[in-house]
Structure 1
Amino acid sequence: MKTLVIVTHPNIEASNWNKAWVQELQKHDDITIHELYKTYPDENIDVSKEQQLIESHDRIIFQYPLFWYSTPPLLKKWFDQVLLYGWAYGPDATKIKGKEIGVAISTYGTEASYQATGFNRFTLQEILRPVEALAHFISATYLPHFSLNDTSDVTEERLAKSSKDYIHHIKTVKPAVVHS
């Protein structure tokens, strides 16, 4: 399975976690890394290039830090510009149908803060519903997310374990069973 990881961090050099994840991803030939902010520092997205990248991969993982309970701005812009009618959705759109889409997300808050009774009042699964809805709308299969919480707690051991866990997740995650 060919996997594309679309990394969207506006300042990845300042992020121990996202930078460590990318460094671990680089060790795997079967994973393509595509860093949006490095590719498009002017935010002028090459739609055709992006669509070709998506078409040539089976699994797409969006890696980003949680930004105000959403994606970083460039990823939202990417969704708006790349996932076009007639290509990603619509009666004759088949380019993404059946592909797998997932999210790898890092948060400053603790795991406990992303619970119904926690500080943020919502789980990450609830916060990621828009991406899940997007996947459904474009006839892709949504994968369970990978997350790392409490990114203020940085140790070499935690960085290494998280990076290994992330790779394992990307390579083994299966779609969640949906019950009707």
Structure 2
Amino acid sequence: MALIILAHPNIEVSLANKTIIEELQKEKNLNIEVRNIAKMYPDFNIDVQEEQQALLRHQTVVFQYPFYWYSLPAILKHWFDEVFLYQFAYGSKGDKLKGKNFVPSFTVGSSEESYTALGFQHFRVLEFCKSLEQTAYHSQMKYVDPIYFHGTSLAAGYTEEEIRNKAKTHAGRLIELLRSCD
């Protein structure tokens, strides 16, 4: 069984992230729990005990979110700060997450080309994920390389059909990964 920490600040207006979650929920024999933390905690007052219990129930944890300004949405960063506590996620007795799978899964609004060298300093998307990798390492979780795709912004000229198709492909990759983690 996998836990999906959905961290889109406004999932109802999201085409890509919403499609991914819908595809995951439609999949038969895929045992997932989706926690929409932006909806659950609009005031950012996270129920730490409840979130820690959810983590304990699952072997695989997927963090589903839009890539915002080269980072996580504020609600997800806050969730980590509140939930991955000393003596729970790390510390001399903080081994509660040891051996669990840590899977970043996100969408990137802009094109892939906007993350490649264009004659001046640019960073590739995976370079912005180092803090996630370190978080997994520090909490003794198994870091799984991120699953992501570019081109999710209507404002950048992508069509709804293109975005939905990419999101469905992404969901398929995520489903395969979740099945292999069981």
- Say whether the 8 Å CA contact 2:16–2:163 is kept in structure 1: no
- Distance in 2 between the 1:118 and 1:53 partners? 46
Q: Is residue 124 from structure 1 mapped to residue 129 from structure 2 by the alignment?
A: no
- Distance in 2 between the 1:115 and 1:54 partners? 35
What secondary structure does 1:103 align onto?
strand
Identity of aligned residues (%): 39
Q: CA deviation at 1:122?
A: 0.9
Q: CA deviation at 1:124?
A: 1.1
> If the length of structure 1 is used for normalisation, what is the TM-score?
0.88
> If the length of structure 2 is used for normalisation, what is the TM-score?
0.87
In structure 1, the gaps of 5 or more residues are 176-180
- Say whether the 8 Å CA contact 1:113–1:119 is kept in structure 2: no
In structure 2, the gaps of 5 or more residues are none
Given the superposition, is the C-alpha separation of residues 39 and 161 from structure 1 closer, same or farther in structure 2, using an over 3 Å criterion? same
Q: CA deviation at 1:6?
A: 0.6
Q: CA deviation at 1:74?
A: 0.8
What secondary structure does 1:62 align onto?
strand
Given the superposition, is the C-alpha separation of residues 137 and 42 from structure 1 closer, same or farther in structure 2, using an over 3 Å criterion? same
Higher RCO (CA < 8 A, seq sep 6+): 2
Corresponding residue for residue 16 of structure 2: 17
- Say whether the 8 Å CA contact 2:8–2:38 is kept in structure 1: yes
- Say whether the 8 Å CA contact 2:63–2:105 is kept in structure 1: yes
- Distance in 2 between the 1:37 and 1:118 partners? 38
What secondary structure does 2:135 align onto?
helix
Given the superposition, is the C-alpha separation of residues 161 and 65 from structure 1 closer, same or farther in structure 2, using an over 3 Å criterion? closer
- Say whether the 8 Å CA contact 1:6–1:60 is kept in structure 2: yes
What secondary structure does 1:49 align onto?
helix
- Normalized per residue, the structure richer in helix is 2
Corresponding residue for residue 31 of structure 1: 32
Q: CA deviation at 1:154?
A: 2.9
Q: Is residue 5 from structure 1 mapped to residue 27 from structure 2 by the alignment?
A: no
Q: CA deviation at 1:159?
A: 1.0
Q: Is residue 65 from structure 1 mapped to residue 70 from structure 2 by the alignment?
A: no
Q: CA deviation at 1:7?
A: 0.7
- Distance in 2 between the 1:118 and 1:41 partners? 41
Task: Please report the RMSD computed on the Cα atoms of aligned residues, expressed in angstroms.
Answer: 2.1
